[in-house]
Structure 1
């Protein structure tokens, strides 16, 4: 059974950080790797040809293991979610009248790419609204999402866990429904993968896209994306020297090769060998695999259960556990609680959360304790 891992981080002792969905705190070991790598370019003769490729292979292998994928060559190294979304959208053959199913208030990087297609391809966005804030909300939202998928649906682009309030979506059911109509399933795993179990084998997403600086516990400006078979013959949005076959032979780079690498590797961003960020993310993924997402969910469930029970007695709304994650959940306030007053109370108490839409977004991690959640609840008891 996992215990608190706060000693592996450098969080200030006078604050309660319940904001991993905003940005994870950095492991000391990841910081150390970054510092070591930063100094390497001072003596560039020590950077070998293998350094351009071997660390990337290790990173892909670790991520592939985390998501239970079939082959690390299906994993691309990306700078952002929007970059991978652009590659996805560019490699789907849209026709006028095709529908793209999205969720209400999902993250902008999983919206703007699709919204642009409304003008350029004359497709239609189908936004599945969030139900009324009351018992059974998460279940109804899942039902409405499934009902929105039909013969006109070309793409279903959704998160596993909603970034604003932690609502959990049944990706296996969504995949089954999408298959009925041959629709693509594009999953934004940024707010779940690493902290919540995910299986490519089970879900069979056409693409799974994850920023690295949240629940993958890595640095900013690097992420990872799985691309399934439907994208393996696609054309990336950029041609860089490393996503072409034969790039490992520097002496022959003057002999241009138009053939792209096989699998998802072809969607790597240029300069994907990033000698600082890649090793940092490698170290972070090694730690996650040692912990396991299952253990992280169990830990965050244990430290939040009593607090959530206490909050329910205060007339706030938190989704029932079967339709939300334990590492990220939204607190919706009753009418007598003003959001600005809540924000002030939490600020005074040194408690860091986020505010997304109408929800107070709470996202604990393995560095938090049950006592941290008790302090959170006490701020709501002042009303």
Structure 2
């Protein structure tokens, strides 16, 4: 179990922030790295050509370690939707085939597939919420020879309902189908091993569970897709781009691996150092230990909220860092506003009261939350 890490964040004592699935607070180390990046850009004479590459490659390697991949398998992207658009551009889908998504899936991992279906004559099949909340069984039952791709999360963004991606990936491969993952709501808080899951594409934005900045993310690309078509044709992805004087000697060749899919202006001198600081911290804590610690925290909250009439998924069916609570009498429409007045930050997603803590939360935060819910319901 990891002890409370609140001292590494700039969070006032009176703030009870249980909303990491919305946006994480910044680590103090990330803050400092960002300020230093702003200062460096303010003095461009200190920025060397090597700076356009060194930090990008460091961040790429750190993220690769997080998902058990090689650095050449990782592209640097601006957002989950950017990476999903790359996936949709490169996966072959034919008329009459099916694209599987979850009911109430996050929009970025839905709209790109409906657009692809319009262009190709494929059908987006929405897997409805199972009565027993066993998404894995529902998906396995839906996979057949007509499925071209399943576009999924690791856990549902509304209530944390968990998917067994290894089992799902295995069955998809047996039917010749592809697996695309948006792990923005799990990466950094729950382990994932691409060598075991074997996704074709995996995308993640930094600003939630990776504790990083907004407008930056990473994408794993399976080797068979690494010679695919990028969204942009930027200069830095081309072979020989390290030689600034030779950029006018246009090259048709790309840098090796997934680098061709990098977004333009990837060498962001403010955001990239912030992402590096966050990734180093996550790897230092160790993601399995983060998950274990957060699972204990949400289990404690769930037990205390059960006495107030809330129900949640058992830990066997949800991610440990996520807690979706439903009340037997429903939720007051102004509940979030009432909690905000007491400096308590949570979310409502769908019909779930979503509580998503991190290592910065302490027992006092939990006591404050439970006391407020007791008064408001």
Q: TM-score, normalised by structure 2?
A: 0.96
Q: Give the 5 Å matches for 1:21-100.
A: 21-69=21-69, 71-100=70-99
User: d(CA) in 2 for partners of 1:150 and 1:352?
Assistant: 42
Q: 1:349 aligns with which of 342, 345, 360?
A: 342
User: d(CA) in 1 for partners of 2:64 and 2:231?
Assistant: 23
1:330 corresponds to 2:324: yes
Q: 2:351 aligns with which of 358, 366, 380?
A: 358
Q: CA deviation at 1:378?
A: 2.7
Q: CA deviation at 1:12?
A: 2.3
Instruction: Tell me if the contact between 1:158 and 1:186 (Cα under 8 Å) persists in the aligned partners.
Output: yes
What is the alpha-carbon root mean square deviation over aligned residues? 1.4
1:108 — aligned with what? 107
User: d(CA) in 1 for partners of 2:146 and 2:272?
Assistant: 40
1:138 corresponds to 2:133: yes
Q: TM-score, normalised by structure 1?
A: 0.95
Deviations 1:97-129 (A, max 9, x none): 111100011111101100112221111001001
1:247 — aligned with what? 241
Q: CA deviation at 1:341?
A: 4.9
SS at structure 2 position matched to 1:111? helix
User: d(CA) in 2 for partners of 1:147 and 1:31?
Assistant: 46
Q: CA deviation at 1:364?
A: 0.2
Q: CA deviation at 1:75?
A: 0.5
Larger displacement relative to structure 2 (236-245 or 295-304): 295-304
Q: CA deviation at 1:249?
A: 1.3
| 5+ residue gaps, structure 1 | none
Q: Give the 5 Å matches for 1:11-30.
A: 11-30=11-30
Q: CA deviation at 1:164?
A: 1.0
Instruction: Tell me if the contact between 2:336 and 2:347 (Cα under 8 Å) persists in the aligned partners.
Output: no
Q: CA deviation at 1:230?
A: 2.6
User: d(CA) in 1 for partners of 2:30 and 2:182?
Assistant: 24
Q: Give the 5 Å matches for 1:1-383.
A: 1-69=1-69, 71-132=70-131, 137-139=132-134, 141-334=135-328, 336-382=329-375, 383=377
Q: CA deviation at 1:142?
A: 1.9
Q: How many residues align?
A: 376
Deviations 1:303-343 (A, max 9, x none): 23232112223332200001111211211121x24332533
Q: CA deviation at 1:348?
A: 3.5
Q: CA deviation at 1:49?
A: 1.1
Instruction: Tell me if the contact between 1:138 and 1:324 (Cα under 8 Å) persists in the aligned partners.
Output: no
- Over 3 Å counting, the alpha-carbon distance change for 1:380 and 1:337 in structure 2 is farther
